[in-house]
Amino acid sequence: MHASARQELLTIRDLIRYAVSRMTAGRVVFGHGSDNAYDEAVYLVLHALHLPPDTLDPFMDARVLREECERVLELVERRVKERLPAAYLTNEAWLQGHRFFIDERVIVPRSPISELLGVGLSPWLGDDSNVTRALDMCTGSGCLAILTALMYPDAHVDAVDISADALDVARRNVDDYGLGDRLSLHKADLFDGLPAAQYDLIVCNPPYVNSTSMAALPNEYRHEPQLALAGGDDGMDLVRLILRGCAQRLQDDGLLVLEIGHERLNFEIAFPDLEPIWLETEGTTDQIMALTRDQLLAATL
């Protein structure tokens, strides 16, 4: 198949069209950074050809070399046959214009919390300069911790994960951004093992997928560490522990920003007396919440 394709696929436009057709016919599942075949095809082609990921038009009709065509076809075939998310094929993921190193030791970064961190949380948190200490729980690749540190340049950020493998990936990303002097990584089980500190801001994208949804995950998602996805029968196993421990770790006017994906109903059943502020992003209306210390102290958790 590659030999035939090499003779017929001459330009970047040809390669993108072929990749869209191949992924559509192969019924691949999206959701790890793109939600459609065209966007993912453009990303894979530009990556394979070492072209800027945000510059396509000037190159659409550029001719490709045989070895360049081979690189693209190899990526597309692996995407279809192995059902690997694109980020694992390219060892990178992009959030808010920032590149992060990624491999199968961590889930693919895609949290919409990143969008909120890109514009700041000042409407709910007060002046950005008030954030001097922040915590990213279940940090994985460290991307949200890094975005937090970039958004709040006066803050020291702690980032915690129970997975040593994930922290190895996070450490590489922290080093890439030169943030080692004010971003500390901790191997800990949620709050157990963290330094004694109170935070102006806690962000958390925990495992929250309920057991029924876990059993139905497409193959693409099964390449990700299950430890970072599975949230128990109702998806709230770790959320319960996080909410119970957050109040004593927040400053008086501190804020928790928590992602729960599509588990709002299960959240409301589990915590009927909590009324969070639901934070909207471009693609979500009820997947991320903000909770104050006072709310957490007053609730039955």
For the chain, what is the mean pLDDT? 94
What is the structure's pLDDT at 124? 81
- Helix %, strand %, coil % for the chain, to 5? 45, 20, 40
Looking at the structure, do residues 79 and 146 belong to the same domain, yes or no?
no
What is the structure's pLDDT at 301? 81
What is the structure's pLDDT at 300? 84
Rg over CA atoms, the chain: 21
Domain interval for residue 282:
105-298
Last residue of a domain, one of 61, 90, 119: 90
Looking at the structure, do residues 273 and 126 belong to the same domain, yes or no?
yes
Looking at the structure, do residues 132 and 75 belong to the same domain, yes or no?
no
Q: How many domains does the chain have?
A: 2
24: in domain = yes
96: in domain = no
What is the structure's pLDDT at 6? 63
98: in domain = no
230: in domain = yes
The per-residue pLDDT for range 263-274, each reduced to its tens digit, is 999 999 999 999
Last residue of a domain, one of 60, 90, 120: 90
Looking at the structure, do residues 134 and 259 belong to the same domain, yes or no?
yes
Looking at the structure, do residues 110 and 82 belong to the same domain, yes or no?
no
Name the maximum alpha-carbon separation found in the chain. Answer: 68
In which band, very low, low, confident or very high, does the pLDDT at 143 lie, cut at 50, 70 and 90?
very high
Q: What is the CATH number of the domain that holds 31?
A: 1.10.8
Q: Residue type at 122?
A: S
Looking at the structure, do residues 194 and 118 belong to the same domain, yes or no?
yes
> How confident is the model over 2-31, as a mean pLDDT?
89
222: in domain = yes
Looking at the structure, do residues 126 and 245 belong to the same domain, yes or no?
yes
* Percent of the chain's residues with pLDDT above 70: 97
CA contacts within 13 A on the Cβ side of 99: 9
Q: What's the pTM value of the predicted model, to 2 decimals?
A: 0.94
Looking at the structure, do residues 246 and 155 belong to the same domain, yes or no?
yes
Q: What's the CA dihedral at 94, 95, 99, 101 to 10 degrees? A: -80
Looking at the structure, do residues 287 and 186 belong to the same domain, yes or no?
yes
Last residue of a domain, one of 90, 119, 140: 90
The per-residue pLDDT for range 195-217, each reduced to its tens digit, is 889 999 999 999 999 999 999 99
99: in domain = no
The per-residue pLDDT for range 59-86, each reduced to its tens digit, is 999 999 999 999 999 999 999 999 999 9
Contact 185, 142 (CB under 8 A): yes
Looking at the structure, do residues 162 and 280 belong to the same domain, yes or no?
yes
The per-residue pLDDT for range 118-133, each reduced to its tens digit, is 887 877 877 666 899 9
The secondary structure of residue 258, as a DSSP letter, is E
Looking at the structure, do residues 52 and 131 belong to the same domain, yes or no?
no
What is the structure's pLDDT at 118? 80
Q: What is the CATH number of the domain that holds 143?
A: 3.40.50.150
In which band, very low, low, confident or very high, does the pLDDT at 280 lie, cut at 50, 70 and 90?
very high
249: in domain = yes
Q: Which residue's entry shows tokens 């004010």?
A: 182
128: in domain = yes
Looking at the structure, do residues 52 and 135 belong to the same domain, yes or no?
no
Neighbouring-strand partners of residue 275: none
* Percent of the chain's residues with pLDDT above 90: 89
Name the residue with higher pLDDT: 118 or 175: 175
- Tally of CB atoms within 10 A around 4: 8
What is the structure's pLDDT at 127? 67
Name the residue with higher pLDDT: 287 or 126: 287
Name the residue with higher pLDDT: 164 or 118: 164
The per-residue pLDDT for range 212-247, each reduced to its tens digit, is 999 999 999 999 999 999 999 999 999 999 999 999
- Give CA angle at 206 (204, 211), nearest 5°: 155
